[in-house]
A and B are shown apart, each in its own frame.
Chain A
Amino acid sequence: MARSEIMLQRTKRYKKMVLFPLIASILLILGPALILQLYLSFNYYSIYSEGWWASEWYALDIFSDVVSDSRFHIAIVRSLGFALASTIGCFVIGFGLALLMYKNFRLQWFYYIIFIIPMLTVPIVIAYTAEMILYQKGPLNGILSSIVGRDMLIMWITNPDIALLTVVLMEVWNWAPFSFIIMMAGLASLPKEPVEAAQILGASRFKIFYEIQLPLLRPIIVLALVLRFLEAMAEFPKTWAIFQGGPGTATETIPVLIYLNTWYYFDWSKAAAMSYIVMMMMVVIILAAIKILQKENKRITQAQAN
């Protein structure tokens, strides 16, 4: 009895010791920004105001302006589409590579090291490098031209129909390694017995993959997809550095649109209202994601304990 009481006391003391600074630093660093964001959504602030404190009460006008803004709607759809496409792209390539590589073979370490490099590369460096490679008379078109045998001058950057796809390709190059390392770890942790048993029973490779390995991998697959999707929703450097939302509005994702409204149109209040809506939307998405992760995490923990 005494022991459990001591335990309880300790827990309490430790809790105070770490939770107080944790909550204090969150409130101190992010709290004022959150309040300002809400404040600006209701009070019109422009660079002509004396300061944010001298802004004018607009009630819900700013919100209704944002909600009815079709550019904002399109940006949301574009961001979701971008996140979805790049998540799937990363996953298909990452998982594919992992399937080719998870069994030991001679140059495994070499390929592994090379394949993780893109995710260690600074995103803004990727953006500028991509621009060097992708401009109309650049090396990528040069290589394509020599393969096809005639001049292939694809406008990766200036054609509005292709631009967003170009960003997706950059994102996939950058983050396929993420899915790759996670799926490598997943495949390596699979128990060997069920697969061997199925082989003895004469099951085809496809059947083994589809009916044994895939279900066992499900929690890890979900993890890889969910985390990548959330990160892709926030992607900024690669989209911004090359395109600044253009050509036209072809690459105007949520982060780019908020950035433009704040630092190009100086419409801080509109940007704040947009941010607020996006934040709420993301919180809903994240809570759903967290629920999924929490469930799958239990399974992963169980599997790892075995």
Chain B
Amino acid sequence: MTKTQKQNLDNVIRYTLLTIWLLIVLFPLFWIVATSFKPDKDWLAWPPVYWSEEPTMSNYNNVWGGAMEHTETQYAQSVQKPFTALRNSTIISFISTFLSVSFGAFIAYGVSRYKVLSETRMFQLLMLRMVPPIVLVGPLSLYYTTIGLIDSLTGLIAIYFITTLPYAVWMTKSFIDEVPIELEQAAEIMGANRWTIITEVVFPVIRSGLLATFLFILILTWSEYLVAFILSKTDAVTLPVELAKYEGSSEGRVYGRQAALSVGITIPLIIVGITIRKHLARGFSFGMIRK
């Protein structure tokens, strides 16, 4: 076999394998989009209906428009409040992420420049993330009930803030480490104090890194399920929890509505994630892989 033949064979194998996985990745995504446009009768049809012959917007209208007249069948709507959930999710994830990243960045600066946390302490900080949340949410819900934080946005913001802090500290530290110290020394000579140096020299230099950290943690918080599920009842319900409410008591799962809501929840995340794709490896590896 000549070299070019071998290369061609390589390419055929490569594209075949990659395309197989591509189909595996895309099929569930296709299915959920397709289902969101299906009328009731196609949800559970056999043989399966891949793309409905009479696509409908009624699922979207029902979920996001709350319009009863758009449904062919009437489903209980009293418990479903997608807009409240959307508002909650937005407030909770943005505020907790903002707190986590801004506080995390200050800790990270201290670690990077002054070693305020030793290396071992830095690794111990990871505990906040690595201990499975299930072991604490029960007692936490009792604690929150006692102090009146159960089913409140504040309660969820607090817990998300603390559990995403390790990511914020580690990821921002990896960016701050790359800022040359000479920059700060120059600012110091010109008489800037610590606060000015941090906020007006260091943070602006790593602003794209800070933004990437922010968006990365936003993805984690936005999609979190367990903690929100347990600490919310009606007022603080987030989108992932809301999704479970699209179950009629007599009709079973309302696939089309769920699909329509799922599409709405997921698309923003995919867009954000693709935008920061160069930083995802850094984020998930706690900044250990910097590339």
Contacts and interface: CB of A to CB of B under 8 A. Distances in A.
Interface residues of A, number: 97
A142 interface: yes
Interface string A97-125: 10011000100000111111111111111
Interface residues of B, number: 87
B219 interface: yes
Nearest to A111: B18
Most buried by B among A33, A189, A304: A33
Given A15-B114, A33-B143, A236-B226, A282 B291 contact: no
Given A125-B262, A128-B262, A185 B134 contact: no
Contacts of B240: 122-125, 237
A100 B117 CA distance: 40
A214 interface: no
B262 to A, nearest CB: 4
A74 B247 CA distance: 31
Contact of A181 (B28, B274, B281): B281
A131 B273 CA distance: 25
Which secondary structure dominates where chain A touches chain B? helix
Most buried by A among B130, B135, B270, B290: B135
Nearest to A22: B107
B161 interface: yes
16 contacts: A14-B114, A15-B110, A18-B110, A22-B103, A34-B136, A36-B140, A114-B26, A120-B274, A128-B243, A128-B262, A132-B31, A138-B48, A236-B133, A236-B225, A290-B123, A294-B120
Interface of A: 10-11, 14-15, 17-19, 21-22, 25-26, 29-30, 32-34, 36-37, 40, 51-52, 93, 96-97, 100-101, 105, 111-126, 128-133, 135, 137-139, 142, 173, 178, 181-182, 184-186, 188-189, 220, 223-224, 227, 230, 233-234, 236-237, 241, 254-255, 258-259, 262-263, 268, 271-272, 275-276, 278-279, 282-283, 286, 289-290, 293-294, 297, 300-301, 304
